[in-house]
């Protein structure tokens, strides 16, 4: 009898859990998975509005024949391979410095480095565009310091336009990742560093032998999130360089937006490109987890 009551109580607890989970699960299914499925179906169609027809994999074939989209893939991976490692290394170094209990005003420094994350994406992109304009502050300083003879058009040259986007991304997101590392460092007993110091370990040795190994799960998390965000990069390409010059700084998401709303709408083709981004995000996240997770 008692066993029957115990089982009944367990079932009641499980039922209560599902009751609380059900509203959220239903909303996620309706708002996320249903649109994803409809977008997948849409990616196999071509045309506009009522004239849309089933076209099979033609949109997926077209992607790799589209020179602008191929260029956007190259641009996005250029940002990914340079910006993400530099950003994570900077965030890790800053977190290690600001975790020092003897550092004065560390609360102020932490706030100052994190503040860019609170800035609107559109606002900060426009500010960077004005900073690197021909008559902007950067050109003014470089000319007055004698580094340049005349203002340099940063945003109309391929390499410099990409570098400006990378600098903007570093400014905006380094503090965001630093907070994750600071949170992880709070869980590491400071006595570990003190013991290493007594044993004669330098600050650099402590960083590589203690900080990095113990923060590996957090580093893996930030790497996956940063990769995901960079593959979906949009605001900086649109508001900073508008994809120029000649689409040499355009990103995949920017081009998808153009194909959906700027040019003659082609939602089927845009949906196909979106699913390519989904596959890239999933594959890279899987590879990062396989490489980063060394648990037996």
Q: At what angle do helices 121-131 and 158-186 cross, to 10 degrees?
A: 130
Residue 264, domain member (yes or no):
yes
Structure tokens at 191: 């006595």
40-44 contacts at long range (C-beta below 8 A, 24 or more positions apart): 40/271, 40/275, 42/267, 42/268, 42/271, 43/268, 43/271, 43/272, 43/274, 43/275, 44/268, 44/272
Residues 91 and 136 in one domain: yes
Per-residue model confidence as pLDDT tens digits over 99-120: 877 788 888 888 888 888 888 8
Residues 13 and 87 in one domain: no
Q: What is the DSSP string of 151-164?
A: ---GGGSHHHHHHH
Predicted confidence band of residue 70 (pLDDT cuts 50, 70, 90): very high
Quick one: which of 259, 237, 246 has its CA closest to 79?
237
Per-residue model confidence as pLDDT tens digits over 153-189: 898 888 999 999 999 999 999 999 999 998 888 888 8
Assess whether pLDDT exceeds 50 at residue 27.
yes
Residues 37 and 147 in one domain: no
Residue 246, domain member (yes or no):
yes
Residues 154 and 274 in one domain: yes
CATH number at residue 76: 1.10.3720.10
Residue 47, domain member (yes or no):
no
Residues 143 and 179 in one domain: yes
Residues 34 and 86 in one domain: no
Residue 23, domain member (yes or no):
yes
Quick one: which of 68, 77, 74 has its CA closest to 246?
68
* pTM given for the model: 0.84
Per-residue model confidence as pLDDT tens digits over 127-160: 999 999 888 899 999 999 888 888 898 988 889 9
Q: How far, CA to CA in Å, does 263 sit from each of 102, 256, 266?
A: 57, 10, 8
Residues 189 and 235 in one domain: yes
Residue 172, domain member (yes or no):
yes
Residues 219 and 76 in one domain: yes
Residue 222, domain member (yes or no):
yes
Residues 133 and 77 in one domain: yes
Residue 53, domain member (yes or no):
no
Structure tokens at 58: 């033609």
Range of the domain at 137: 65-292
Mean predicted lDDT score pLDDT of the chain: 86
Residues 174 and 100 in one domain: yes
Split into its structural domains, the chain has a count of 2
Across 230-252, average pLDDT:
89
The share of the chain scoring above pLDDT 90, in percent, equals 24
More confident residue, 81 or 200: 81
Which of 59-63, 163-167, 215-219, 241-245 ranks highest by mean pLDDT?
163-167
**Phi, psi of 199, rounded to the nearest 5 degrees:** -75, 0
Residues 7 and 124 in one domain: no
Residue 182, domain member (yes or no):
yes
Residues 100 and 198 in one domain: yes
* Alpha-helical segments (H) within 187-202: 190-198
């Amino acid at each position: 009898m008692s066993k029957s009551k115990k089982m009944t109580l367990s079932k009641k607890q499980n039922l209560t859990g599902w009751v609380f989970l059900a509203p959220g699960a239903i909303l996620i299914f309706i708002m996320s998975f249903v649109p994803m499925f409809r977008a997948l179906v849409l990616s196999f169609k071509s045309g506009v509005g009522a004239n849309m027809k089933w076209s099979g994999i033609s949109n997926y074939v077209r992607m790799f024949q589209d020179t602008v989209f191929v260029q956007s893939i190259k641009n996005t991976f250029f940002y990914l391979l340079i910006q993400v490692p530099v950003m994570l290394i900077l965030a890790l170094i800053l977190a290690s410095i600001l975790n020092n209990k003897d550092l004065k005003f560390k609360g102020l420094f932490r706030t100052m480095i994190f503040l860019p994350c609170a800035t609107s994406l559109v606002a900060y992109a426009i500010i960077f565009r004005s900073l690197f304009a021909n008559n902007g502050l950067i050109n003014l300083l470089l000319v007055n310091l004698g580094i340049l003879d005349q203002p340099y058009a940063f945003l109309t040259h391929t390499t410099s336009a990409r570098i400006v986007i990378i600098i903007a991304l570093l400014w905006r997101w380094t503090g965001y990742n630093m907070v994750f590392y600071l949170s992880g460092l709070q869980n590491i007993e400071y006595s570990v560093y003190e013991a290493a110091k007594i044993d004669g370990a330098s600050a650099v040795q402590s960083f590589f032998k203690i900080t990095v190994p113990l923060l590996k799960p957090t580093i893996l998390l930030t790497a996956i999130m940063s990769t995901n965000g960079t593959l979906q990069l949009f605001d900086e390409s649109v508001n900073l360089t508008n994809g120029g010059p000649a689409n040499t700084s355009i990103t995949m998401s920017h081009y998808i937006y153009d194909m959906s709303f700027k040019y003659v709408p082609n939602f089927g083709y845009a949906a196909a490109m979106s699913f390519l981004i989904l596959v890239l995000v999933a594959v890279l996240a899987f590879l990062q987890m396989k490489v980063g997770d060394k648990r037996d």
